Amino acid sequence: MTAASSAYGVLLPSSVTISWRNASGAWQAGTTVTPKPSCGPSPCATLALPAGAQVTGVKATFPGGGSSSDWYMVSELSTQ
């Protein structure tokens, strides 16, 4: 993995909206967060969840408006 670099065509989005699904299957309202440029070897976006949250799904929505050939790579989801 590597840091975002326009020299390689790797761009960091200005924001990402993260939603999560609870144990009852209901999606919770998305929260817009600003990605951090460096969280170890690569950029990341984080969302703090309520204590005791039982997460059964995660969804990330990236901003539109780019080229139809744009794509995003998500390499890891983790909990802490």
**Domains identified in the chain, total number:** 1
Sheet holding 31-33, edge to edge: 31-33, 16-21, 57-61
In a domain, 17, yes or no: yes
In a domain, 20, yes or no: yes
Give me the domain span that covers residue 23. Answer: 13-44
In a domain, 56, yes or no: no
Print pLDDT tens along the chain (80 aa).
Answer: 556 677 777 778 888 899 999 999 999 999 999 988 888 777 888 888 889 999 999 888 888 766 666 667 777 777 66
Contact between 13 and 62 under an 8 Å Cβ cutoff? The reply is yes
SS3 15: coil
In a domain, 58, yes or no: no
